[in-house]
Amino acid sequence: MPRVALYAGSFDPITNGHSDLIRRSLSFVDRLVVAVASNISKQTLFTPEERTDLIRAAVDNDPRVSVQHFQGLTVDFAKQAGVLMIIRGLRAASDFEYEYQMALMNRHLAPEMETVFMVPSLDTTYISSSLVREVARFHGDVSSLVHPSVEAALIKKFPKT
């Protein structure tokens, strides 16, 4: 039986922190479903389609990674996709409380679902999509924070004029 996991997020846009988790998870799963949440309360810069395309580019179209967007509950989408393992990253102690609560709520909703917490690489722990967007908005250098195709998409969104 191939081992499959799901990694959900808003990915607005995908950063090197997300890519690090994707790469690490592929060391113990055969296939990873990256699920792009499209009904989140966050106002996003990129459309679900753009976020999906950028993830595919950032993973260099790795055939082990499938990228789909979804609406509704993550656990429902996971079940629909036939996945029983959810991957989450714990960047700092401050992530823990929220992640713990979400994992328990997901377990309440779908007891068969298991959440696996991963430790990201130290040099990506300070990265978040909103900080990347903010740096890009004011034309700061994001080249070491995101994949080149994401950098290009950000430059297009925030032209220097």
Helix extents (H) in the chain? 16-25, 48-58, 74-80, 93-109, 129-137, 148-157
Task: Please report whether residue 10 would count as binding ligand COA according to CB under 6 A.
Answer: yes
d(CA 133, CA 152): 12
Find the binder of ligand COA among 65, 91, 150, 154 (CB under 6 A): 91
Q: Name the minimum Å distance from CB 148 to ligand COA.
A: 17
Task: Please report whether residue 87 would count as binding ligand COA according to CB under 6 A.
Answer: no
The site map against ligand COA for 121-160 (x = CB under 6 A) is: ---x--xxxx------------------------------
- Torsion over CA: 25, 1, 64, 107 (sign): negative
d(CA 142, CA 152): 10
Task: Please report whether residue 25 would count as binding ligand COA according to CB under 6 A.
Answer: no
Find the binder of ligand COA among 37, 85, 113, 136 (CB under 6 A): 37
Task: Please report whether residue 13 would count as binding ligand COA according to CB under 6 A.
Answer: no
Q: Would you state the structure tokens that stand for residue 123, as one six-digit string?
A: 């040099």
Whole-number Cα distances in Å, 70 to 4, 52, 66, 140: 17, 11, 13, 31
Let me know if 91 is a catalytic residue: yes
Let me know if 42 is a catalytic residue: yes
d(CA 80, CA 46): 25
Find the binder of ligand COA among 57, 102, 110, 116 (CB under 6 A): 102
Specify the DSSP element, H or E, that contains 16.
helix 16-25
* Active centre residues (catalytic): 18, 42, 91, 129
Name the site residues for ligand COA (rule: CB under 6 A).
8-10, 12, 15, 17-18, 21, 37, 40, 42, 73-74, 89, 91, 102, 105-106, 120, 124, 127-130
